[in-house]
């Protein structure tokens, strides 16, 4: 009948707050608050050597840190397992070639390229981590500013890399094809989007799908002890695609609005 405990329908997200550029010494950052779930993502662009099998592309590295503040279970090394699981999921989601234009991250084929280190920090766990993390990653990548570099060649053939003096002279990433994860949790005979902690406790199986803004699926993962019927998997996929597309539209709207406010924007940050 489409009524959850807090009045939402099965396909409704909780009230979300997204803010970019919250950490000053990163190339890009974003903070997302989805109900009680709080995620902070920072992106740092550093120069590195391209991978051997892809000499003319840069790459992304993901690291997830589950802060002990998030829930008591993360005390000490409790959050490491979850952190590695999330990082591996992010690698899979971004493994598709079209998600991020990696060729634009190349400076000198085989020698220099930009490596984007994406660090995810879980500040509070309130259910539905993967969705919030993927939204934050997309917002942070949108906010990332990579300085423009020029390669100068000497007479002897040695190359020098010159960083532009102007701090505003930078390249931005195209995040149109960056996918977002939608988690569908099966409760009883129906499935819900954006489960709270209590709903997650009642759900035996969930399907994580990553959807691009055009509705294409880049990866799919099933989590949980319970089993899923192939029919319900198909239904969940359709729901996920639908919800994912509207999520992308809403997120892009917010990011564009924030962008248009420019430097006059009042930053809320952490103390607001």
The CA distances from residue 60 to 111, 113, 178, 250, in Å, are 17, 11, 13, 25
Q: Is 150 helix (H, G, I), strand (E, B) or coil?
A: strand
Nearest to other proteins of 2, 229 (CB atom): 2
Task: Verify binding: residue 242, other proteins, rule CB under 8 A.
Answer: no
The site for other proteins, by CB under 8 A, has a size of 11
Rounded least distance, CB 247 to other proteins, Å: 16
- Which one of 2-10, 46-54, 165-173, 246-254 is the stretch in contact with other proteins (CB under 8 A)? 2-10
Distance CA 131, CA 142 (A): 17
Q: How many helices (H) and strands (E) does the chain have?
A: 4, 14
Distance CA 155, CA 176 (A): 41
User: What DSSP element (H or E) covers 28?
Assistant: strand 28-34
Taking residues 167 to 206 in sequence order and writing x for each that binds other proteins by CB under 8 A, - otherwise, the string is ----------------------------------------
Distance CA 192, CA 128 (A): 11
Site for other proteins in 104-123 (CB under 8 A): none
The two tokens of residue 169 are: 């002279």
Rounded least distance, CB 194 to other proteins, Å: 11
Residue 81 Cα to chain centre, angstroms: 19
Nearest to other proteins of 5, 261 (CB atom): 5
Distance CA 252, CA 17 (A): 13
Task: Verify binding: residue 4, other proteins, rule CB under 8 A.
Answer: yes
Rounded least distance, CB 138 to other proteins, Å: 23
Rounded least distance, CB 134 to other proteins, Å: 22
Site for other proteins in 5-34 (CB under 8 A): 5-9, 12, 14-15
Residue ranges binding other proteins (CB under 8 A): 1, 3-9, 12, 14-15
């Amino acid at each position: 009948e489409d009524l959850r405990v807090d009045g939402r329908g099965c396909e409704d997200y909780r009230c979300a707050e997204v803010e970019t550029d919250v950490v000053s010494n990163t190339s890009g950052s974003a903070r997302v608050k989805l109900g009680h779930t709080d995620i902070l993502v920072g992106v740092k662009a550093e120069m590195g050597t391209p991978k051997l099998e892809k000499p003319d592309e840069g790459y992304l590295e993901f690291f997830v840190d589950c802060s002990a503040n998030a829930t008591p279970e993360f005390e000490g090394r409790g959050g490491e397992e979850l952190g590695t699981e999330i990082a591996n999921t992010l690698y899979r989601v971004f493994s598709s070639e079209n998600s991020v234009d990696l060729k634009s991250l190349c400076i000198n084929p085989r020698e220099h390229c930009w490596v984007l280190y994406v660090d995810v920090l879980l500040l509070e766990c309130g259910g539905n981590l993967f969705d919030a993390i993927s939204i934050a990653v997309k917002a942070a990548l949108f906010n990332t500013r990579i300085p423009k570099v020029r390669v100068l060649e000497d007479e002897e053939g040695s190359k020098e890399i010159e960083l532009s003096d102007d701090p505003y002279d930078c390249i931005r990433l195209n995040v149109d094809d960056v996918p977002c994860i939608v988690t569908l949790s099966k409760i009883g005979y129906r499935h819900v989007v954006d489960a709270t902690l209590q709903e997650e406790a009642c759900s035996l199986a969930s399907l994580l799908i990553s959807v691009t803004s055009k509705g294409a699926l880049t990866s799919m993962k099933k989590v949980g002890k319970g089993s899923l019927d192939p029919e319900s998997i198909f239904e969940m996929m359709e729901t996920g695609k639908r919800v994912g597309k509207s999520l992308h539209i809403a997120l892009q709207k917010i990011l564009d609005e924030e962008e248009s406010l420019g430097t006059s924007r009042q930053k809320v940050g952490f103390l607001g």
